[in-house]
Structures are given as C-alpha cells and as structure tokens.
Amino acid sequence: MASISTSISLTSSSSSSSSSSSSSHLHDPFLSSSRSHLNPSLSFPFHLRITHKPLHLQNLPHLPRSHKIRSLRQETRATPITKDLWENSILKSDIPVLVEFYASWCGPCRMVHRVIDDIAKEYAGRLNCFLVNTDTDMQIADDYEIKAVPVVMLFKDGQKCDAVIGTMPKEFYVNAIERVLKP
C-alpha cells in the first residue's frame, strides 16, 4: 500500500511540473500506461488533441426535403396484427394472406422479417403480409399450434393452406406463395 501512495505522489508531482516535461511523459508508453491506473483523466494523451470536428459542428451540405432520411421500420411492409384484427384481416380477406409468427427475442425471426418485407413489396396487391408476436398474442399461436418460431403460414379464403417452419431461403417462401396464388 505504501508503494502505491508513493507512486501517486510521484505521479502528481510530475504532473505539476512544467508543460514540456508533462508532454514528454504523456508520450512515454510506460508512464502513460502506469498513469491510466492511477489517474484516468491523464491516461489517454490523445484526448487532448481532437483531430476532427464533431458532427454537429461540421458544415454538412443540407439535403433537400425530398431526400429525408427514413428509418428501416418505416420501410416495413408486413403489418403487425393482434387478435382483435385477426378475423377481419386474415380470415375474411379477399386475397391470400401471409402471416409470420415471431418473437421479439428470436434472432432467426429478424432474418425472416427482411425476407417477408421483400415479399410484401413484390406481391403488393396480390398478397397481404402480417406479423404476429407470439409473446403478446399467445391465443392465436395456441389456436394454430405454434410451438417454435419463426413460422410463416399462408391463408386463402380464411383457411390455412401452407406453412413454412423455420428460417428458409426466400425461394421456399416464394414457391409456397406461388402455389397458393394459382387458381
């Protein structure tokens, strides 16, 4: 413990010396690393020299209003649905419906979300795409015996036509959709 207090007093006395000697200590890797344990404010010499301006101080060109930055969530085409809207949106739909059963904690579900969003854009007007969170809408998941996620189900005329269980390439989903869309 005495050696630590001695090194602290040495470090504090060396930091109170002239600026030329302290700047030489800042660039000395041995002293710099030993200081990091004792005085964190002096540990990293580069914090004294910022080589770039922070973004809010930079003169960035202003984009026209037509080039607004959008979040990825606004681009999503598959609509989240709850049990309150299930009957009207799924069972009474005039066109075929794709429903992805997912959970917010599920990593593979996020991969399937991207595929379903692409499919929703490609089949807009011919297929409605919805998302059901199995954690919040357990009754729907129980009705369709969803035991694992992700599960993608296809409905036509209110009846379940096909299901794809697990994470699959986009072609699997497209093939199932094409089978359902055939007259």
Q: Which helix (H) or strand (E) holds 133?
A: strand 128-133
Give the three-class secondary structure for 113. helix
Q: Determine whether 129 is an active site residue.
A: no
Q: What is the dihedral of CA 74, 76, 82, 85, to 10 degrees?
A: 90
- Rounded CA-CA distance 180/168 in Å is 18
For helices 19-27 and 29-38, give the axis angle rounded to 10 degrees.
100
Q: Determine whether 109 is an active site residue.
A: yes
CA neighbours closer than 13 Å in the CB half-sphere of residue 116? 29
Q: What is the dihedral of CA 130, 104, 122, 86, to 10 degrees?
A: 0
Catalytic residue among 98, 99, 106, 152: 106
How far apart, in Å, are the Cα atoms of 38 and each of 19, 25, 34, 61?
20, 14, 7, 44
How far apart, in Å, are the Cα atoms of 161 and each of 81, 116, 128, 154?
19, 17, 14, 6
Catalytic residue among 109, 115, 131, 154: 109
Active site amino acids: 106, 109
